[in-house]
Structure 1
Amino acid sequence: MQTMDMMPFLQSMSIRRVTLFVRWSVEWTYHISGMKYIIPDGMRALLVMINQLKRADGNIMISTLGEADGTPSGNFLLLDGKTFEPKGTWPADGKVVKFNYDFWYQPRRNVMISTEWGSPSHIKKGFNPAHVSEGLYGNSVHIFEWNSKKHFQTIDLPMPLGALPLEVRFLHEPTNENAFVGCALGSAIFRIHPDKENPSVQTATLSASIPSKHVSGWPLPEMPALITDILISMDDRFLYVSCWLHGDIRQYDITDPSNIKLNSQVYIGGSIHSESNIQVLDEDYSEIPALYVKGRKIEGGPQMLQLSLDGKRLYVTTSLYKQWDLQFYPENVKSGATMLQVDIDPETGKMEINRNFLIDFGKVSGGPYLAHEMRYPGGDCTSDIWI
């Protein structure tokens, strides 16, 4: 039996149907219960579409993708932390950014960083590469003053590596100046930090990039890794990166944030394993076997990540967003997503897939379900922020 020091909760994300489920709990017995939800009318009154959810200053703060008609318009919604009723939007000056997605803040340094996905009306139709060049997806991060709640700076990440900057994570040490951003389509990691010449502004430095694979049997001749989530361990030692298309989770040693190093790597599903019918043409590629856990073939690829506070157990789900799942991993939608555990060696950091742990959301009553984000009820590596 898995010890229950902190049991993950799953968060429901909806773009097409503007309903927020404040919390879904998933027990190891596959019991699912909706805790509370906010009806669509209350959300439409504020013209927002839900995306990421985090707690801020006793309230719940949610980043939004756009207006109710699908027009991109990045904003931040505040909910009462006890009643979950909408209280208004966060920015003091009413300024919205063109695109929005994730956000993270360091109160002691009076800074918040937000990222960009794209136009909601286009995201929900599936991914079209042409939309990137048409300006329907983002490549910028935005800097806000936390105390004044005002937009301060926009950093345009260089293309193509900066395309679709989704997740942002500050190091947990509250005075640390470094944050990392994972760019999905660009398959690159950028470090956001004060500029050496002018520390009052932030700058972006490329930390790592993952080359695309040359392939056949896929819609495009090159397949990006597609970084969809990043996570920093509570001790600020490791940065974990999920590559949804290539299928690997990468662990980088970030003890020196300015010089990160790949330390360990495991493969969970993905599009280029031995049973995928997609051929990798790169000469230096070694074929990766399909993953089976407890007799279940793992469909989809590693997507959202969550790490135990002691850094010994990394949890991963395999669904990104239903319309994109249908496009890239239709079998994942048909059979339901899975949640897996990766064991971490506390000394070396080496990762190893736990073959005895599996939550199969295709077998949950009422399923199949597409599990997305995981949260621990007592706080975790992707929500704990020191004031």
Structure 2
Amino acid sequence: MGLSIFVFFRSSRIYVVDTAKIPRAPSLHKVVQPTDILQKTGLAYPHTSHCLGSGDIMVSCLGDKEGNATGNGFLLLDSDFNVKGRWEKPGHSPLFGYDFWYQPRHNTMISSSWGAPAAFSKGFNLQHVSDGLYGRHLYVYSWPDGELKQTLDLGNAGLLPLETRFLHDPSKDTGFVGSALSSNMVRFFKTTDGAWSHEVAISVTPLKVRNWILPEMPGLISDFLISLDDRYLYFVNWFHGDVRQYNIEDPSKPVLTGQVWVGGLLQKGSDVVSVSEEGAESQFSVPVIKGNRLRGGPQMIQLSLDGKRLYVTNSLFSVWDQQFYGPDFVKKGSHMLQIDVNTEQGGLTINPNFFVDFGTEPEGPALAHEMRYPGGDCTSDIWI
């Protein structure tokens, strides 16, 4: 029996689904109730899950039951999905939680920091960043014993660090994290003295705009991934609307090799316009796919195992979806696109024949978020 974990952090439930019968009839295997998690760990708002070599499952949690970030940490489930407890040592919890990735050969796990659920669950407020309700740190733990060894302060270049990925090659001591609000890809790496450091590897320039809440619009890097051969890095700008491909054969010097626009706040027909230094207004051309104008912006991505098909959904978080893209987006639901990848020279092309409309689902309209392959994929597989 193949099992997948579906995590819903708004309800703090963890759903375990039998995927052996996918695609036709997946069935519910077990529900890990929030009361059980709270009683044994004090944790709530589960987010990212990874399987461990021990057979346990580890899940990052974003806060306590009231949505305070002070209650976050890492939940451990056994192979039968019973709550075992917390992974990190007492007193070694991060200030904020979100994503994590471990690299066993370097005895290291690194986690990122979104913010307090009590803040982001009500929509984004820039003042909350100044108030300290959002993160800007990476947390470096010893693996597998859960001791917090370092806290890397990314500063203003790393506001709201979200997805965290090591290179897939388990011998490599480098990886990346996407900082959403700063719109930078930050590379982290081990130094000669065995400590960990970081640097900005890619910057997305904010655009001067009119008819928006701020005079400048960040790209808002909400997701990224690394191809299984560690050759290419892909990321999305949820506000600007573009998907990018970079060659990272030299991880310290990424090279842009592909870029396409699949939505965003600046697409033609939008009220928001980009303004040049000379005052000229412009917007990006976004194609119509199978008669559908693309809604929202690119948000989560997943790559086929051969690296040739990049799939894109467009819902970040329903409250944020409505705040930035309006109630019509939520009412119509989201969609999934396919981008064809040139894996030899690099390059991205939108597939004009692929469009999955979640607005027409029987229980819809639905807001599609993360994608997973039942047998493992670029954002779930970790090698020992």
Percentage of pairs with the same residue: 46
Aligned partner of 1:150 among 147, 154, 177: 147
Corresponding residue for 2:8?
13
Rounded to whole Å, the distance in 1 between the matches of 2:119 and 2:25 is 34
Structure 1 residues 218-237: aligned runs within 5 Å = 218-237=212-231
Paired letter, 2:317? Y
Aligned partner of 2:190 among 188, 194, 200: 194
Q: CA deviation at 1:12?
A: 4.8
Q: What's the Cα RMSD here?
A: 2.1
Corresponding residue for 1:5?
none
Pair 338,28 (structure 1): closer, same or farther in 2 beyond 3 Å: farther
Q: Secondary structure of the residue that 1:43 maps to in structure 2?
A: helix
Rounded to whole Å, the distance in 1 between the matches of 2:99 and 2:166 is 12
Corresponding residue for 1:4?
none
Aligned partner of 1:166 among 157, 162, 166: 162
Q: Secondary structure of the residue that 1:92 maps to in structure 2?
A: coil
Q: CA deviation at 1:292?
A: 2.1
Residues 138-189 of structure 1 show CA distances to partners (whole Å, capped at 9, x for unaligned) of 0000000113221110000021x21000011101111101111100000001
Q: Retained in 1: the 8 A contact 2:7–2:48?
A: no
Rounded to whole Å, the distance in 1 between the matches of 2:282 and 2:213 is 22
Rounded to whole Å, the distance in 2 between the matches of 1:24 and 1:291 is 37
Is 2:335 the counterpart of 1:354? Answer: no
Q: Retained in 2: the 8 A contact 1:79–1:86?
A: yes
Is 2:42 the counterpart of 1:47? Answer: yes
Corresponding residue for 2:339?
342
Rounded to whole Å, the distance in 1 between the matches of 2:24 and 2:318 is 21
Q: CA deviation at 1:36?
A: 3.6
Paired letter, 1:111? T
Q: Retained in 1: the 8 A contact 2:309–2:338?
A: yes
Q: Secondary structure of the residue that 1:324 maps to in structure 2?
A: helix
Pair 10,110 (structure 1): closer, same or farther in 2 beyond 3 Å: closer
Larger RCO (CA under 8 A, 6+ residues apart): 1
Aligned partner of 1:135 among 132, 135, 151: 132
Q: CA deviation at 1:286?
A: 5.3
Q: Retained in 2: the 8 A contact 1:100–1:117?
A: yes
Rounded to whole Å, the distance in 2 between the matches of 1:67 and 1:29 is 35
Paired letter, 2:242? D
Structure 1 residues not aligned, in runs of 5+: 1-8
Pair 189,105 (structure 1): closer, same or farther in 2 beyond 3 Å: same
Rounded to whole Å, the distance in 2 between the matches of 1:177 and 1:170 is 8
**More displaced 10-residue stretch of structure 1: 341-350 or 171-180:** 341-350
Pair 264,59 (structure 1): closer, same or farther in 2 beyond 3 Å: same
Q: Retained in 2: the 8 A contact 1:10–1:24?
A: no
Residues 18-56 of structure 1 show CA distances to partners (whole Å, capped at 9, x for unaligned) of 22223497x998977655422232233232221112222
Is 2:72 the counterpart of 1:77? Answer: no
Corresponding residue for 1:101?
98
Aligned partner of 2:59 among 55, 62, 84: 62
Aligned partner of 1:241 among 219, 223, 235: 235
Pair 365,33 (structure 1): closer, same or farther in 2 beyond 3 Å: farther
Q: Retained in 2: the 8 A contact 1:10–1:374?
A: no
Q: CA deviation at 1:112?
A: 0.6
Pair 10,370 (structure 1): closer, same or farther in 2 beyond 3 Å: farther
Corresponding residue for 2:301?
305
Paired letter, 1:385? I
Pair 167,370 (structure 1): closer, same or farther in 2 beyond 3 Å: same
Give the number of equivalent residue pairs: 374
Structure 1 residues 22-41: aligned runs within 5 Å = 22-23=16-17, 34-41=28-35
Paired letter, 2:178? G
Paired letter, 1:170? F
Paired letter, 2:206? S
Q: Secondary structure of the residue that 1:186 maps to in structure 2?
A: coil
Corresponding residue for 2:312?
316
Structure 1 residues 226-305: aligned runs within 5 Å = 226-282=220-276, 287-305=283-301
Aligned partner of 1:110 among 107, 110, 135: 107
Q: CA deviation at 1:363?
A: 0.8
Q: Retained in 1: the 8 A contact 2:238–2:298?
A: yes
TM-score (norm 1): 0.91
Corresponding residue for 1:383?
380
Is 2:369 the counterpart of 1:372? Answer: yes
Paired letter, 2:76? L
TM-score (norm 2): 0.92
Q: Retained in 2: the 8 A contact 1:30–1:364?
A: no
Q: Secondary structure of the residue that 1:358 maps to in structure 2?
A: strand
Q: Retained in 1: the 8 A contact 2:6–2:14?
A: no
Q: CA deviation at 1:131?
A: 0.7
Q: CA deviation at 1:237?
A: 0.3
Pair 153,29 (structure 1): closer, same or farther in 2 beyond 3 Å: closer
Rounded to whole Å, the distance in 2 between the matches of 1:187 and 1:301 is 15
Paired letter, 2:307? G
Residues 208-244 of structure 1 show CA distances to partners (whole Å, capped at 9, x for unaligned) of 1101111111111111100011100000000101111
Rounded to whole Å, the distance in 1 between the matches of 2:221 and 2:16 is 26
Pair 126,180 (structure 1): closer, same or farther in 2 beyond 3 Å: same
